Structure 1
């Protein structure tokens, strides 16, 4: 059995402060790491920064997200770059600074998280008129992201839960793209077809024939799948990267199902296999 590519979720968020240069450097030390997954949003000046949540305050597993407050896109870049992540000395980096720390032997999956507004259309397949409107919402930010990515010599893959972001990317650059699926499998497949996306990123419980498919996760109900996403995407020539494995049992089950890549919270999950 061919083992799937290991994609370090926010730089293996289970072992290091997520989306930081420190996390990237530690993830790069593991030979299994094929790609890093990161999230990007704009600072107040429009500069892309690497952070997941739209607000700087809040908690993750009981720890403060950062020691700053406010919406990311309303906060000056200097203040964002000084914000310490999850109670550590690691700080939020700009996209350009983070990419400069990534070896070109490791790919980067840039998730277009937010263009700087709250009214996102997440996980939806949009009407033609709405596609144009939402593309315009994302366009300037996507252009800034692509500009910062131009100097990176490794492989790049862009993903988003928002069709507008995928549409803006296709208007801007010829990079591989993948819709992230939330609660509507058909919507994700439709977006992938509309923009001839090279990949598709379903949640771990959207893979038919696995024990995980009987669980609730990330908007997809465990009551039964309406479509075999893996089979359909492979038949259409698309790579299937699944998110997010938190233990080796999940990783092994997804690998056995035949997915191409697995977004993982921890390194080392690929080291065990029921096939051995």
Structure 2
């Protein structure tokens, strides 16, 4: 099984196509991110439309999650649960008041060059109960894998047409299990929510090539004293960078919004930084060296 290569400087991963400067998860954002020489990978979120077609959008509803701040704007000018909405209605929804609309996964992959890798986060399969961020017992794994498999099959089929590298990631064990079964040739990564120990357990269970912890879960950094992603302000008990590297796994950290955060994480030896803005590494280099 191929492992992600370690780099002297972290790979810059465009979070939703650099959502801080572009309408997130759109073709325009992905193309703009891919045009930058410093972008190694584009991260995007996929869910099924009512017909099962993978579409690129983060929130469960077209209008967005009201608890998630987008400066008062709804995510799109349409409403409804993604997996209950017709594909045509989803594709015609304007994103954040721009001319960009919600694309299919196939649309995005066709628009970006294969020189840029793509991190496809398996966000939702259309089920009411996803078991988000949980490590499941042995009796539940098969059920959850079966729940995700039809959607993951659709996603893998779209990714097979892309000549660049693909990395699947998810907070849901069922999605990881399905991805490993349906597309064993692709790399997969556990997205860690509130416990490094359970994240590591899943990386070992599915022999994941990478693990994606939040930015405040890296031991020894000032960032570790901040609250984020259900991690408190205590120092992490596990050195995730050291442990993952000893096991041959890459560590890609989410979501970085300032050059100060980037600089700390780069110094800690992480392999990839999932960033909201482009150019954070250049700012860190200019101002600290």
| TM-score range for the pair, normalised by the shorter chain length | over 0.9
> Following TM superposition, by how much is the alpha carbon of 1:221 offset from its aligned partner in structure 2, in angstroms?
1.1
Q: Distance in 2 between matches of 1:82 and 1:117?
A: 24
Could you say what secondary structure the match of 1:100 adopts? Answer: helix
Query: Would you say 1:196 and 2:207 are equivalent positions?
Result: yes
CA distance in 1, matches of 2:240, 2:269: 12
Q: What secondary structure sits across from 2:228 in the alignment?
A: coil
Among 25, 32, 47, the residue aligned to 2:31: 25
Task: Report the alpha carbon displacement of residue 220 of structure 1 after superposing the two structures with TM.
Answer: 1.1
Shift of 1:275: 6.2
Deviation at 1:120, TM superposition (A): 1.1
Shift of 1:157: 0.3
Distance 1:33 1:254 in 2: 17
* 1:143 aligns with one of 153, 157, 164: 153
Tell me the residue number matched to 1:43.
Answer: 49
Alignment partner for residue 133 of structure 2, among 101, 109, 123? Answer: 123
User: Which of 232, 236, 255 is the matching residue for 2:243?
Assistant: 232
Candidates 10, 18, 27, aligned match of 1:12: 18
Which of 66, 70, 93 is 2:80 aligned to? 70
CA distance in 2, matches of 1:123, 1:171: 20
Q: Work out the CA distance in 2 between the residues paired with 1:73 and 1:226.
A: 39
Q: Distance in 2 between matches of 1:2 and 1:173?
A: 29
Contact residue 160 and residue 178 of structure 1 kept, 8 A: yes
Distance 1:267 1:63 in 2: 22
Structure 1 spans left out of the alignment, 5+ residues: none
Alignment of 1:27-176 (within 5 A): 27-58=33-64, 60-174=70-184, 175-176=186-187
Query: Is the 8 Å Cα contact of residues 34 and 116 (structure 2) preserved in structure 1?
Result: yes
Tell me the TM-score normalised to structure 2 length.
Answer: 0.93
Separation in 1, partners of 2:196, 2:128: 23
Residues 17-68 of structure 1 show CA distances to partners (whole Å, capped at 9, x for unaligned) of: 0000010111112100000000000000000000000001135221110000
Contact kept, 8 Å, 1:124 with 1:184, in 2: the verdict is: no
TM-score, length of structure 1 as denominator length: 0.98
What secondary structure sits across from 2:281 in the alignment? helix
Query: Can you list the C-alpha shifts for 1:175-207, whole angstroms capped at 9, x where unaligned?
Result: 100000000111100000001000000000000
- In structure 2, what is the Cα distance between the partners aligned to 1:190 and 1:78? 40
Give the aligned partner of residue 271 of structure 2.
260
CA contact (8 A) 2:220 2:235 kept: no
Q: Over aligned residues, Cα RMSD in angstroms? A: 1.1
Deviating above 6 A after TM superposition, structure 1's stretches of 4 or more consecutive aligned residues are none
Where do 5+ consecutive residues of structure 2 fail to align? 1-6
**8 Å Cα contact 1:7-1:33 kept in structure 2:** yes
